[in-house]
A and B are shown apart, each in its own frame.
Chain A
Amino acid sequence: GESVGLHLPTLSVQEGDNSIINCAYSNSASDYFIWYKQESGKGPQFIIDIRSNMDKRQGQRVTVLLNKTVKHLSLQIAATQPGDSAVYFCAENIGDYKLSFGAGTTVTVRA
């Protein structure tokens, strides 16, 4: 499943399939980007980050891609599991300590 275009608020994906969540960022001067996962009733949880001198970074079952030309960030989740159901936020560093978060994409995993 993929959120088509720059951003869609919801994404439904079949368990076992790969998910792609897209995000557009606003500040061309941003040099650091983070993906967070937020489950219902909990605070955001760090997933993976990437600095602007990289195009791709991989973690466990997750990959983040950065396209600075079009100011686009994506999060790929391999073999999506029911525990991946959550809201996913991209965030950009707009100062040394300040993060600006997107509106989030709600991912629902179908059994």
Chain B
Amino acid sequence: GAGVSQTPSNKVTEKGKYVELRCDPISGHTALYWYRQSLGQGPEFLIYFQGTGAADDSGLPNDRFFAVRPEGSVSTLKIQRTERGDSAVYLCASSLSERAGELFFGEGSRLTVL
């Protein structure tokens, strides 16, 4: 596809459940980022991948959050034992280089934890 694709676009789950959010970056983009956006706020950094490895996961709020990018393309953000406070839009972005430049964002996955 031409842009960053994220699935699902909406996910409603119950407290305590496990969720996976998928990101398919722009072809050829080696850098991939996950951000979280709460209502009325700007995006907050979660994790950055350069290739297959997580170069910086300092933004992950706790050990219930984990992300992988096994083949250096598609990435999955995994959240265990979801809590109501995890409700937010999870944005994925990709870029050509590791230097923060023009990030291309997907439309996000809106997670609602009941």
- Encoded as 1 (CB less than 8 Å from any A CB) or 0, chain B from 49 to 64 comes to 0100001100100000
Among A41, A43, A89, A93, contact of B100 (Cβ-Cβ < 8 Å): A93
Residues of B within 8 A of A44 (CB): 43, 91, 103, 105
Residues of A within 8 A of B98 (CB): 96-97
Q: Tell me, rounded to whole Å, the shortest Cβ–Cβ distance linking B46 to chain A.
A: 10
Count A-B pairs with CB separation below 8 Å: 61
**Residue A81 interfacial (CB < 8 Å):** no
Inter-subunit contact B40/A95 (CB<8 Å):
no
Complex: A71 Cα to B87 Cα, angstroms = 32
Complex: A32 Cα to B44 Cα, angstroms = 17
Residues of B within 8 A of A (CB): 4, 31, 33, 40-45, 48, 50, 55-56, 59, 91, 93, 98-108
List 25 A-B pairs, Cβ < 8 Å: A34-B102, A43-B93, A43-B105, A43-B106, A43-B108, A44-B103, A44-B105, A45-B105, A46-B104, A49-B102, A93-B100, A95-B56, A96-B100, A97-B31, A97-B33, A97-B48, A97-B56, A98-B45, A98-B48, A98-B100, A99-B100, A100-B45, A101-B42, A101-B43, A101-B44
